[in-house]
Chains A and B, each alone.
Chain A
């Protein structure tokens, strides 16, 4: 918020009042902790007893449950935990379950999606192993993990952004950026 305050001050001096969202400022200025996941990023667990541990393919049990992770710059080790929009849900599924686009983004059955619901921005989605679906605790939207996290039920206006993956030296690694903007898109 300090950046926002100084910006306000600068704007006021210039005779123009404006407010720029803090995260947008940080992104524009290249704060690596707030930058969204990028190709080559690895992942670390964002919660639980092993919080901070790097995620390898062998750590993920086929069929789930999913883990919640933050991306990590593979070069300098920066964990991108500066924005809640960087939370990623990762789950390993049977490759034969995955639909076309989902299969092409997956790495040996591992799929990853933004952990923030596109409806009102809630996180903490639960997992229905039988249906391979994420369910939002706030308004019950269900997202199909086998099919690009498309909305199966509930009020969310769009699917969860997907994150393409690859396996590098045993580590689950981002193969690109989110397929769309994470979080709520205000109309």
Chain B
């Protein structure tokens, strides 16, 4: 190829790629210490959910139920990207860091919206990215960390956006890719891999925050001989067993344990991977120093409904029967609301009950939490099955939120959705990088239950009583892919719908107090922060990925023609 002889030297002279496009930089940057991560200031939003607890709670109350109707946009910013925008703004003393699909990172003045720097990762032309999204950056000291869709961890200088180091952790040609924001604790940058629909072996890995050197790696599917391997069939099934890690873990600093949710085993049909399949569809507790698994709870065994339990349980205290204990609370994709107990030596089961109509589990063992199934609902090779909730579950990845003022848990739910899946007659052997699902996607049918009056909703639960307190059903059979934010102002912020709305609900009653139609649909985590005495609410709007796919499937079955426009915008609101 003659072109190569002159092309390469010429390209070296091109503008630098992977470095800031506009290097104005950040002045007087406040390093993010361990102490600050443990005790974040109310005016800042230093982690994707506001703290290690993962509760999506802001202690700011300047914007409240009394004045939220005067909430107006104060600035916005076009990201220049299509696809699913899911990352929250991370704010440190007036500087906002936000990531977009295709691993762009923006540093913006959180008050004015002025761009301070921009990083854009460059990818190979044939990069694999079946879920083109990114769920946020992590801050530590004077650096910004990003997990990339080609399975690297990238470290940027927080002041300039310049690349400090990058570490490749897995082979993207084999469809390992990262969608989550890193979790940083004790100087370890922890990330996990997506790709179970392509036969990956899921893992969580930690790299040293200073050097980028890999510190440990823990697979969600054990190798033969390791604990849990007895729950897999023999042969090489474990090597492509799935167990993706889609979402950032939460961290209990007292126990030194990070909690991560894990995805489904693959391929989907139950008889393609007989056994319980640890540690898929589980929560696992990892020692952040070593990566050792200190405890696990598998929500349901031998998953075959694509009920990834990717969301991380929220960490807050719950009081039951006169006893207050450190809990893990998880509204599951399997439609059950799980209450577990954090312990030094493991994870204890406390309670589980359905928060949406669920037709697969027939019983839950009161001691262990192990469900019993209606075996006729299982997806098997060469067979078709119909079940509710659908394979997108009662709640997919969008995080729930907990408000210590109201003592309520808020769940972005999908009620009344069912699906028919068809297992392939014969599953082709695993090939690296090839789709490895085991269903005939052309025969998938997603549909609302007969007589259903709504699909998307926000639910509020009191975990001390185990009772639902209120529900806000979305109008017009709309769906809900909106991560939640709750504040000390007595509010719950929620997007997630095809009508492109961002809305504020009364945290105590669920009453709609305010709404605003954005450019696209909101599937990103909202955040709140304060600069110069003014509280802001910020969120990205940019529809794509699974929300877009669900819209397409429901258009088919409900004879609708809904199209949600794409293109990302950062929106920042304040009360005027």
Residues on A lying within 8 angstroms of B by beta carbon are 1, 11, 14, 16-25, 27-30, 35, 47-48, 83-85, 120-124, 126-128, 135, 137-140, 154-155, 183, 186-187
Chain B residues with CB under 8 A of A16? 12, 16
Partner of A154, one of B7, B126, B552: B552
Question: B549: which A residues are within 8 A, CB to CB?
Answer: 138-140
Distance in Å from the Cβ of A46 to the closest Cβ of chain B? 8
Q: List 16 A-B contacts (CB under 8 A).
A: A14-B12, A16-B16, A17-B163, A21-B123, A30-B4, A83-B126, A84-B433, A85-B126, A121-B127, A121-B132, A123-B434, A123-B435, A127-B442, A139-B548, A140-B556, A186-B102
Residue pair B82, A128 in contact (C-beta under 8 Å): no
Q: B1, B83, B173: which contacts A28 (Cβ < 8 A)?
A: B1
The reply to whether the CB of B357 lies closer than 8 angstroms to some CB of chain A is no
B126–A183 touching, CB < 8 Å: yes
Does any Cβ of A come within 8 Å of B14's Cβ?
yes
Task: Decide if B442 touches A17 in the complex (CB within 8 Å).
Answer: no
- B425-447 CB contact bits vs A (8 Å, 1 = yes)? 00010010111010011100000
Contact (Cβ within 8 A) B553 A17: no
Q: Which residues of A contact B428 (CB under 8 A)?
A: 47-48
Chain B residue contacts of A23, Cβ below 8 A: 124-126
Further pairs besides A22-B124, A84-B433, A122-B130: 19, Cβ < 8 Å: A14-B12, A16-B12, A17-B19, A17-B163, A21-B127, A29-B1, A30-B1, A30-B4, A83-B126, A84-B173, A85-B126, A120-B130, A122-B435, A126-B440, A128-B442, A139-B548, A139-B549, A154-B552, A186-B102
Q: Are A24 and B125 in contact (CB under 8 A)?
A: yes
* B343: chain A residues within 8 A (beta carbon): none
Is the pair A18, B442 in contact by a Cβ cutoff of 8 Å?
no
* Least distance between B511 CB and chain A CB atoms (Å): 35
Residue in A17, A25, A124 whose beta carbon sits within 8 Å of that of B434 in the complex = A124
Instruction: Write the nearest CB–CB distance from A42 to chain B, whole angstroms.
Output: 20
Q: Which of A16, A47, A84, A126 counts the most B-chain CB atoms under 10 A from its CB?
A: A84
Report Cα–Cα, A28/B163, bound state, in Å: 25
Q: Is A28 a contact partner of B8 (Cβ separation < 8 A)?
A: yes
- A126 and B443 CA atoms in complex are apart in Å by 10
Minimum CB–CB distance for A38 against chain B, Å: 11
Question: Which residue of chain A has the shortest Cβ distance to B133 in the bound complex?
Answer: A120
The answer to whether B17 has its CB under 8 Å from any CB of chain A is: yes
Interface residues on B, range: 35 or more
Contact at B552–A137, with CB atoms within 8 Å? no
Instruction: Report A156 CB to chain B, min CB distance, Å.
Output: 11
Task: Quote the shortest CB–CB distance from B20 to chain A (angstroms).
Answer: 11
Interface string of B104-131 (1 = CB under 8 A from A): 0000000000000000001111111111
Residues of A contacting B552 in the complex (Cβ-Cβ under 8 angstroms) = 139-140, 154-155
**Which residues from chain B contact A128 at a C-beta distance below 8 Å?**
442
Task: Give bound CA distance, A154 to B544, whole Å.
Answer: 12
Complex Cα distance, B131 from A187, in Å, reads 17
B441: nearest residue on chain A (CB-CB)?
A137
Closest approach, in angstroms, between the C-beta of A108 and any C-beta of chain B? 27
Q: Which of A1, A19, A30 touches B17 (beta carbons < 8 Å)? A: A19
Q: Tell me if B19 and A28 are in contact (CB < 8 A).
A: no
Question: Which residues of A are found within 8 Å of B548, using beta-carbon distances?
Answer: 139, 155
User: When the two chains form their complex, are residues B1 and A19 in contact, meaning their CB atoms are under 8 A apart?
Assistant: no
Complex contact A11–B12 (CB within 8 A): yes
* Whole-angstrom CA separation of A30 from B7 in the bound complex: 12
What CA separation (Å) do A139 and B553 show in the bound complex? 9
Chain A residues near B442 (CB-CB < 8 A): 126-128, 135, 137
Report whether A85 and B553 are in contact in the complex, using a CB–CB cutoff of 8 Å. no
Question: Closest CB-CB distance, B487 to chain A, in whole Å?
Answer: 34
What CA separation (Å) do A135 and B553 show in the bound complex? 12
A85 to B7, CA, bound (A): 22
CB pair A21–B125 under 8 Å, yes or no, is yes
Min CB gap A144→B, angstroms: 15
CA distance A99 to B259 in the complex (A): 56
User: Shortest beta-carbon distance, A147 to chain B, in Å?
Assistant: 19
Q: Which residue from chain A places its CB closest to the CB of B125 in the assembled complex?
A: A23
Q: Which residues does chain A contribute within 8 Å of B566, judged by CB atoms?
A: 155
B4 with A18: CB separation less than 8 A: no
Given known A-B contacts A48-B428, A140-B549, A155-B552, A21 and B122 have beta carbons under 8 A apart: yes
Is there an interface contact between B1 and A121, defined as CB atoms closer than 8 Å? no
* Residues B125 and A85 in contact, CB atoms below 8 Å apart: yes
Is B294 an interface residue when CB atoms closer than 8 A count as contact?
A: no
A16 to B552, CA, bound (A): 45
